[in-house]
Amino acid sequence: MTRPTVLFVCVHNAGRSQMAAGYLQHLAGDRVEVLSAGSQPADQVNRVAVAAMAEEGIDIASEQPKVLTESAVREADVVITMGCGDECPYVPGKRYEDWVLDDPAGQGIEAVRPIRDEIRGRVEALVAELVG
């Protein structure tokens, strides 16, 4: 595997998957290809998630929720789902992980920070595993 591709998937592609993608891009840089998508994408990224990431010095404000496609799953080496369950297409030979995380939708910043921090820890472990 030269440069691994990681796809983060949640229902709306507005909170958890966007924060995870932001952290992976920030921590791994160009050593990893980062994708994110949602099974039912929202109109925009969650403003509280944007604010929580800004506190970490990571700007996800310009990101747009994207619809999950089978081609994105095929392109990925690692598919990380966050609450989309059976709506995520299964492609044999891919590595799948399901991260059980609270949904930041409708939550205030105090509730989103612990979700953000848990995502950071999981992404740090993923980076260490994929690129050392």
The domains found in the chain, sorted by start residue, are 5-131 (3.40.50.2300)
- Over residues 66-87, mean pLDDT: 87
Catalytic residue of the set 10, 14, 76, 119: 10
Q: Which helix (H) or strand (E) holds 118?
A: helix 109-131
Whole-angstrom CA distances from 10 to 1, 36, 51 are: 25, 8, 19
Active site residue 84: yes
Whole-angstrom CA distances from 106 to 14, 88, 98, 119, 132 are: 11, 23, 22, 18, 36
Mean pLDDT lowest among 23-27, 73-77, 84-88: 84-88
Catalytic residue of the set 48, 50, 82, 88: 88
Question: pLDDT exceeding 90 applies to what percent of the chain?
Answer: 85
Query: Buried b / exposed e across 69-97, counting CB within 10 Å, b at 16+?
Result: eeebbeebbbbbbbbbeeebbeeeeeeee
Helices 16-28 and 109-131 pack at an angle, to 10 degrees, of 40
Task: Give the mean pLDDT of the chain.
Answer: 93
Q: What is the pLDDT of residue 4?
A: 95
Give 41's pLDDT tier (boundaries 50, 70, 90). Answer: very high
Question: pLDDT exceeding 70 applies to what percent of the chain?
Answer: 95
Catalytic residue of the set 37, 53, 84, 123: 84
Active site residue 88: yes
Q: What is the pLDDT of residue 84?
A: 66
pLDDT digits (tens, 9 = 90+) for 86-126: 666 778 888 999 999 999 999 999 999 999 999 999 999 99
> Over 60: is that where the pLDDT of 1 sits?
no
